[in-house]
Chain A
Amino acid sequence: MTLLAPPPRPAKLVDQFERGLDAPICLTWELTYACNLACVHCLSSSGRRDPRELSTDECKAVIDELQRMQVFYVNIGGGEPTVRKDFWELVDYATAHDVGVKFSTNGSRIDAKVAARLAASDYVDVQISLDGATAEVNDHVRGPGSYATAIQAMEHLAAAGFEGFKLSVVCTRQNLGQLDEFKAIADRYKAQLRLTRLRPSGRGADTWDELHPLPHQQRELYDWLVAHGEGVLTGDSFFHLAAYGDALPGLNLCGAGRVVCLIDPIGDVYACPFAIHDEFLAGNVRDPGGFQHVWRESELFLELREPQSAGACGSCDFFDKCRGGCMAAKFFTGLPLAGPDPECVLGHGEDALQALATGAPAAKPKPSGDHSKLLSKRQQREQAVTRMPDKACDESPLAAFPILQR
């Protein structure tokens, strides 16, 4: 008689994902570095178009590849992707080739006509960026008039009957007290609220110290997210908060080069949208073998799919929960990748940053490309007079420091 062993329990999905998949689950594709805004925390330091940006035909070839690899959808961003003349042509091409599109926009091109067109398509989703529930807080980060622009875009989408588009908020020290207000705005326009983590990437490297949430705000955010469950999207970006208690809904892992990646406007493939730096550059879609070759064979991505050293976090009881946090957040704050996240909820990141500050001065890595608009002296003066409103949460003595000054 043969006794059958019970079937082995499947390995944890997260473990499988850390070893990488043959194709990304989703990817971020920034179509252009051109932007009509100049947000102070822009991950890609966008502003000016890069003359090397992929042509329409090159973009279509990438879409063909994504279809072959069964990448079901892309998150399109920029820059402001809708300023590309071929934007709608590319969206239509993607959806006709089984690649769904969600695009991020500041809303400046979402008029009534565009909204109606979007509402009629199942395969296209829109994400409106708003980083303050009031014009005061939002415009400080995203620029004058950007609040009104985003609200108007949402009004057009709601009027066209587009339900469930995304209202996307980067959580900052200045807006974390407004979570209920953000939720109310999303509900008003039948949108879904999406909260994501601020990263010290791109121009965010310069504004991180003034924008990133304070420790007690992180706790409040965690509790708020737990209370709202799956009703609020997070892009799975807050897994570093998991050490507070139960894991938040979603995938709690760093998917960089394993299940996600970034294609930038000139075709460079980076491990993730927050890591535009030569350290995390895997290749270019124009290289022989195209995107698929970069994804499957690049030295960097293969290395990221190997077991990573936990470093100083190895002895922490919570390592299984937060897995050391965000690679890009560590890198751009100058911390070693094997070690705590700068916003480690146990405070280990702050300790590490302190040690860094008191040790020999080491230059923090700078983003590899900067497409920021060049400001005239007059524009610089105008931006420098912008001040944050006085808020109860402004605890830092530097709270009134003008973050827009560069």
Chain B
Amino acid sequence: MSTTTVSPDRATTFDLDGSWRLHPQVALRPESFGALAYHFGTRRLSFLKDRTLLSIVEHLGAEPCAADACAAAGVAPADLPRYEQALATLAATDMICPGAPA
């Protein structure tokens, strides 16, 4: 198993205005600390260390862009950069992928 810990404080860039969704081969299991995300294709397990991050990921598919998903999850503007970085990590490991909203 490969594991990644995704907390809202890793430095990378991410297209917040783009449309994103959970990768179709990824399953989420909510936990008190956040969630487990497992990618059946890459067999990679990620730990989402935050319930807000889980909420953002759950909103991705239903919102036109990632920034809107963050807003829907109640992310304050001051916290946005931290979540942007977490989303960048999830994108880099194929946990989320570009895609049209449902």
A10→B2 contact, CB < 8 A: no
Whether B12 is near chain A, meaning CB under 8 Å from some CB there, is no
Task: Report the interface size for chain B: residues with CB under 8 A from the other chain.
Answer: 22
Whether A72 is near chain B, meaning CB under 8 Å from some CB there, is yes
| Residues in chain A near residue B31, CB distance under 8 A | 16, 21-22
Q: Which of B32, B33, B34 has the most CB of A within 10 A?
A: B33
| Residues in chain B near residue A235, CB distance under 8 A | 1
| 9 closest cross-chain pairs (CB), A and B | A72-B38, A70-B29, A16-B33, A122-B41, A123-B40, A100-B40, A10-B49, A125-B43, A13-B47
B36→A230 contact, CB < 8 A: no
> Measured between C-beta atoms, what is the minimum distance from B62 to chain A in Å?
21
Which residues in A have some Cβ–Cβ distance to B below 8 Å?
A: 7, 10-11, 13, 16, 21-23, 25-26, 70, 72-73, 98, 100, 102, 122-123, 125, 230, 233, 235, 250-251
With A25-B36, A26-B1 as contacts: A72 and B27 at CB distance below 8 Å: yes
Bound together, the chains give a CA A250 to CA B1 distance in angstroms of: 10
| Residues in chain B near residue A10, CB distance under 8 A | 7, 33-34, 49-50
Given A13-B33, A72-B36, 17 other A-B contacts at CB below 8 A?
A7-B79, A10-B7, A10-B34, A11-B33, A13-B49, A23-B29, A72-B27, A72-B40, A73-B1, A98-B40, A100-B38, A100-B40, A100-B43, A102-B43, A125-B43, A230-B2, A250-B3
Minimum CB distance partner of A230 in chain B: B2
> Measured between C-beta atoms, what is the minimum distance from B54 to chain A in Å?
12
Whether B25 is near chain A, meaning CB under 8 Å from some CB there, is yes
Whether B13 is near chain A, meaning CB under 8 Å from some CB there, is no
Bound together, the chains give a CA A98 to CA B40 distance in angstroms of: 8
In the assembled complex, 7 residue pairs joining A and B whose CB atoms fall closer than 8 Å, in A order, are: A7-B79, A11-B33, A16-B32, A21-B31, A73-B38, A100-B38, A230-B2
Minimum CB distance partner of A99 in chain B: B40
With A16-B33, A21-B31, A122-B25 as contacts: A72 and B3 at CB distance below 8 Å: no
> Measured between C-beta atoms, what is the minimum distance from A404 to chain B in Å?
32
| Residues in chain B near residue A233, CB distance under 8 A | 1-2
| Residues in chain B near residue A98, CB distance under 8 A | 27, 40
Bound together, the chains give a CA A229 to CA B2 distance in angstroms of: 12
| Residues in chain A near residue B7, CB distance under 8 A | 10
> Measured between C-beta atoms, what is the minimum distance from A337 to chain B in Å?
26
With A16-B33, A100-B40, A122-B40 as contacts: A72 and B2 at CB distance below 8 Å: no
| Residues in chain A near residue B57, CB distance under 8 A | none
B32-71: contact bitstring with A at CB < 8 Å (1 yes, 0 no)?
1110101011010101011000000000000000000000
| Residues in chain B near residue A251, CB distance under 8 A | 3
A13→B43 contact, CB < 8 A: no
| Residues in chain A near residue B38, CB distance under 8 A | 72-73, 100
Minimum CB distance partner of A26 in chain B: B1
> Measured between C-beta atoms, what is the minimum distance from B78 to chain A in Å?
10
Bound together, the chains give a CA A102 to CA B50 distance in angstroms of: 28
Minimum CB distance partner of A95 in chain B: B40
Minimum CB distance partner of B29 in chain A: A70
| Residues in chain B near residue A72, CB distance under 8 A | 27, 29, 36, 38, 40, 45
Q: Which of A21, A72, A100, A123 has the most CB of B within 10 A?
A: A72
> Measured between C-beta atoms, what is the minimum distance from B99 to chain A in Å?
19
B33→A25 contact, CB < 8 A: no
Minimum CB distance partner of A70 in chain B: B29
Minimum CB distance partner of B34 in chain A: A10
| Residues in chain B near residue A125, CB distance under 8 A | 43
Bound together, the chains give a CA A72 to CA B31 distance in angstroms of: 14
> Measured between C-beta atoms, what is the minimum distance from B43 to chain A in Å?
6
Bound together, the chains give a CA A7 to CA B8 distance in angstroms of: 12
| Residues in chain B near residue A22, CB distance under 8 A | 31
Bound together, the chains give a CA A233 to CA B36 distance in angstroms of: 19
| Residues in chain A near residue B50, CB distance under 8 A | 10
Q: Which of B5, B25, B34, B36 has the most CB of A within 10 A?
A: B36
> Measured between C-beta atoms, what is the minimum distance from B26 to chain A in Å?
10
Minimum CB distance partner of B49 in chain A: A10
> Measured between C-beta atoms, what is the minimum distance from B28 to chain A in Å?
9
> Measured between C-beta atoms, what is the minimum distance from A75 to chain B in Å?
8
B27→A70 contact, CB < 8 A: yes
| Residues in chain B near residue A122, CB distance under 8 A | 25, 40-41
Bound together, the chains give a CA A9 to CA B50 distance in angstroms of: 10
| Residues in chain A near residue B36, CB distance under 8 A | 25, 70, 72
